[in-house]
Amino acid sequence: MGEIHAMKGRPAQLPAAPRPRSPKAGAIPEAADAMPDTITYDATKKRLLLGPGYVENVEPAVWNYEVSGQQVLRQWFSCRKQNRERPLIGDRRPPSPLGNLQPDHWLAEYTAELLNVLSVLGLLTALEPAQASMMEKICSGPTFPVEDLRAAEAFELPAEPGRKAPKASETDLFSENGGK
């Protein structure tokens, strides 16, 4: 789908990354009594350990990947581990009894989902250097003086809700001479 929308100068395909895999010897057991309750990481072997099972080829950056201060893999696992209880915080009411309707064993779908999450996180970490470079270019690039923004009425709000903002004046913020 995205191939036809690839911009000039951008790769048409996703960057290659080592694919995480769950080898037969490290398969996460599906038996109820072996439902994993812990997730850890072995950096020397690049293994994500889920109870007695594991996934190989997991880069440290993938394990450490965070969004809004939350480690993505720990958060993902917290909804699928054996003990899914959440502590009560403050005056919050207790969780719904529907939360008890959970599988009592590790599902094969969990493993497939985990491998997909690991692949996406791997691609995101591979893109970080290019994103950092782009951010540096943006932050060190030219800015628009406040006077030009005011002259273009960029700060003007519509007089009434649902009414369009006034049209910009002849000033063109994107030309070299300001459209003058």
Show Cβ contacts of residue 62 under 8 Å, excluding neighbours closer than 6 positions.
20, 73, 118, 121, 122, 125
pLDDT of residue 1: 40
Residue 175: both structure tokens together: 């030309």
The pLDDT profile of the chain, 180 residues, written as one tens digit per residue, is 445 555 666 666 655 556 787 887 788 988 888 899 999 999 999 999 999 999 999 999 999 999 999 999 999 998 898 887 765 555 667 767 777 788 889 999 999 999 999 999 999 999 999 999 999 999 999 888 889 988 888 888 777 766 665 565 555 556 555 444
With a threshold of 0.75, does the pTM exceed it?
A: no
Q: Would you kindly state where each structural domain of the chain is located, as residue ranges?
A: 15-83+104-140, 142-180
**Quick one: the chain helix, strand, coil %, rounded to 5?**
35, 10, 55
Taking the C-alpha atoms of residue 47 and residue 57, their distance in angstroms, rounded to an integer, is: 6
